[in-house]
Amino acid sequence: MARLTLANFRTPLKILDAVFRDGEDLKFLDVPGFPPILFLRDPELIREITVETSNNGDFERDTLPTQGIGRVVGSQNLLYLQGADWKEHKAAAVRPLGTRAVQTVEVFHDLEQTIYRVTDARLEQIADLVRASPTGAIERSLEPDIQELMLNLLVHVLFGADVPDDELRDRYLPAIRGVIRYILLDTLLNQFHLPVLRLPALTPGHARIQRDWATFEELVDRVIAARDDGHGFWPYLTINASPEAIRSNVRVFLAGALEATSSYLSWILVNLARNPTARQRAYEDVSQLTCLSPQSRQQATYLHQVMSESLRLNNSLYFLPRIALREATVATSRGSLTIPAGTHLVLATWHMNRCEDHWGTSATGYPASEFIPERWNPENLARHGRSSKDNLHFGFGHGPRVCIGKHFSEAEAFVCLAMFLRRFDFEATGDVAADSGISTRPADQVRLTLRLRPDPAFTPRPAT
């Protein structure tokens, strides 16, 4: 069994690699004096456990592996609340973040306008560099651009706050990156739960962390101020929550959603960059669209398969933490498993999604370790006797604790991809490894070779 050490805490995927290196789907670790831990990658077990989580069932979300996040964002939010309080918060979030609110022409229009405003000048600068290059191509690491765009979409579209783009890029984004780095360190090293952010700064590093935190809180203030103006999705939020609960949830979205959505879009680009056939088919899909809308998203069937396959192969949430509230027996087609009360569960979705037995040639027609969007083609699913129930990739979780921002994340990813594919062709500069912390990310910071497409990009619709 691999250990969590200073050498590997930044890449916990390596720990899980060691856990499942012998090919088994279950590993039970029971050390005297410590609570037991169950590592599992069986899809049926994961599905049943997630369905029974927070649903008056036998399991709940385990906050132990993410205690550093809790010390930064607080506990009065959808991530940490349980029982009746959690249900109240989730019910309130369904209206602003559910599919009915997100899948509207107005939301897609806001996404489109924000992306144009943030990226048009930047993309034109990149296009000028490409035109000036003797080879007609340039190399560029796109991760900073992706993070800047995702933060803009969260602040301007979701929350409706009026924060200048240059302030988000130059002031707030570096602070959020610093806070996320601190969360990782705090989770590993702060086993005595010290209030580090409130203690006097004793080192330059400590002082820098506190400055980043103060800047992050400043952005939270500006986002919450938009609620009084009725902008963004705030009018749909009807819960009479405490100021600290509102603040705690905003922190989760600004840090957690930024991290997850950046990972989502980054991996799609990286996977397309390494698959010329899939990249061309995705381009042909969006080249037929005359505008960006919920209807056009439904028409782009191959791009939808690309997004599903990328979430399967490189899901940003590489494991789902759960805890058994009481002794529970979970039944699957392979038999039953009894889990002792108090067991910490690591639902290893990254490794489940790459397991040949569950996602390989015999099950889906293609090797599990390869990026092949055709895996999700309805005809291919039917040919292998698969259904959507069988093809759960858990990219946004599953069951009652499914990610509440799922629909918004999918909508913004579609709009971003459609616009980028229409403007640029691109390819990988080399092999890329997976880095992991709060979420997974390409270790090369999405370094691609970019070329211009001959076709014009979408013409932005007038602002309304």
pLDDT one-digit tens code per residue, 289-311: 888 888 888 899 999 999 999 99
Q: At what angle do helices 204-229 and 243-251 cross, to 10 degrees?
A: 120
| Cβ atoms of residues 111 and 412 within 8 Å | yes
Q: Which residue carries 């090293």 as its tokens?
A: 189
pLDDT confidence of 234, banded at 50, 70, 90?
A: confident
CA pair distance 353, 129, nearest whole angstrom: 39
Q: What is the pLDDT of residues 34-74, one digit of tens each?
A: 889 999 999 999 999 999 998 788 999 998 888 888 888 88
What tokens does 395 get? 């990219």
SS3 content of the chain, % helix, strand, coil (to 5): 55, 10, 35
Task: Locate 458 and state its tokens.
Answer: 């979408």
Partnered with residue 450 across adjacent β-strands are: 138, 426
Kindly report the number of other CB atoms within 10 A of residue 82's CB atom: 14
Over residues 431-464, the pLDDT tens digits come to 889 998 888 999 999 999 999 988 666 655 555 5
- C-beta of residue 241 within 8 angstroms of C-beta of residue 224: no
pTM: 0.92
d(CA 358, CA 343): 25
Q: Does 349 have pLDDT greater than 60?
A: yes
Q: Which residue has the tokens 């309304």?
A: 464
What is the Cα–Cα distance from 76 to 242, expressed in whole angstroms?
9
Structure-derived torsion over alpha carbons of residues 391, 395, 398, 400, reported in degrees to the nearest 10: -150
Strand partners, 139: 449
pLDDT at position 241, please?
79
DSSP reduced 3-state for 40? strand
Distance between CA atoms of residues 105 and 179, nearest Å:
35
More confident residue, 387 or 179: 179
Q: Determine the straight-line distance between the first and last CA of the chain, rounded to whole angstroms.
A: 58
Tell me phi and psi for residue 324, to 5 degrees: -80, 115
Q: Are 146 and 266 in contact (CB under 8 A)?
A: yes
- Of residues 30, 61, 18, 9, the one with CA closest to residue 320: 61
DSSP 251-270: HIIIIIIHHHHHHHHHHHHH
Query: How far is C-alpha 316 from the geometric centre of its chain's CA atoms?
Result: 5
Q: Which fold has domain 13-452?
A: Cytochrome p450 (1.10.630)
Q: Is the pLDDT of residue 8 over 70?
A: no
Give the range among 5-19, 75-89, 179-193, 256-270 with minimum mean pLDDT: 5-19
pLDDT tens digits, 166-209: 999 999 999 999 999 888 887 777 666 777 888 888 888 889 99
Under DSSP, the state recorded for 237 is: -
Whether pLDDT at 138 is above 70: yes
Whole-number Å distance between alpha carbons of 85 and 83: 6
Residue 227 belongs to what H/E stretch?
A: helix 204-229
Average pLDDT of the chain, as a whole number: 88
pLDDT tens for 95-134 read 788 887 788 888 877 887 887 777 666 677 788 888 899 9
How high is the pLDDT of residue 189? 72
Q: How many CA atoms lie within 13 A of 186 on its CB side?
A: 23
* pLDDT given at position 377: 94
Task: Count the Cβ atoms, other than its own, within 10 Å of residue 195.
Answer: 8
Whether the pLDDT of residue 392 is over 70: the answer is yes
Which phi and psi angles does 215 have, rounded to 5°?
A: -70, -40
pLDDT of the residue at 31: 85
Smallest CA-to-CA distance from 236 within 366, 92, 415 is with 92
